[in-house]
Amino acid sequence: MANDAVTFLPVATFQHLENKVMVASNKIDFSKKPTASGSSVDVLRIPKGAYVKRVALTVHTTEATVTIAVGDAASATQYLTAQTLTSLKADNNAGTADGGVMSVDAAQKFYGAEGVIRLTIGGAQVDTAVVTASAEYFVVPGSAA
C-alpha cells in the first residue's frame, strides 16, 4: 500500500508529557490531496513511550462508498476496522451532523518507539471527505528518554 500522504502529519512536540493524558487530533481534508483506495496515510505522531488508550474517527463530510480503517504501521486495523463514512454520518441526526466512532479498550497499545496513527482508505478513491482522527494517550514515566 502506498503511504504517499505523509503531508497530513502535524508537527508535534513530545517534551514534558510524562504522567499527562494527551489528546492529539488532526482534521484531514481529502479534497486537498485525493487518495486512492488501498492507500494508507499517516495522520498523527505517537511519541516513544506512549500508551494509546483510545482512537476516534469523526466524519464531517462524507463520500459514497469510501471506507476508512484506523491503525498504525504494524496493523491497519489496530484501532478500528473499516468504517463506511456514509454510515457513520447517517448515525447522527439523519446525516445532518458529524458522525463518529471510537475504539474499544481492547485496542489499547504501548509504543516502545515513536509511532503513527494511520488511516487506510478502502471502497473507492477519497476525493472530498473531511474527517478528524483523534488519539488519547499518556507517556509512561522514563520511557520517552
Kindly report, residue by residue over 124-140, the tens digit of the pLDDT: 999 999 999 999 999 88
Cα separation, 18 vs 105, whole angstroms? 21
Give me the domain span that covers residue 93.
19-139
Which H or E run includes 81?
strand 80-84
Q: What is the pLDDT of residue 105?
A: 82
The total of structural domains in the chain comes to 1
Name every residue whose Cβ is closer than 8 Å to that of residue 69 and which is 6 or more positions away in sequence.
Answer: 76, 77, 80, 81, 82, 83, 119, 120, 122
Cα separation, 33 vs 110, whole angstroms? 30
Is 76 domain-assigned?
yes
Rounded to the nearest 5 degrees, what angle is found at the Cα of 142, between the Cα atoms of 137 and 145? Answer: 95
What's the CATH code of the domain at 36?
A: 2.60.120.220
Can you read off the three cell numbers belonging to residue 136?
488519547
Phi, psi torsion values for 95, nearest 5 degrees? 85, 5
Query: Tens digits of per-residue pLDDT, 25-79?
Result: 999 999 999 999 999 999 999 999 999 999 999 999 999 899 999 999 999 999 9
Res. 92 pLDDT band, cuts 50 70 90: low
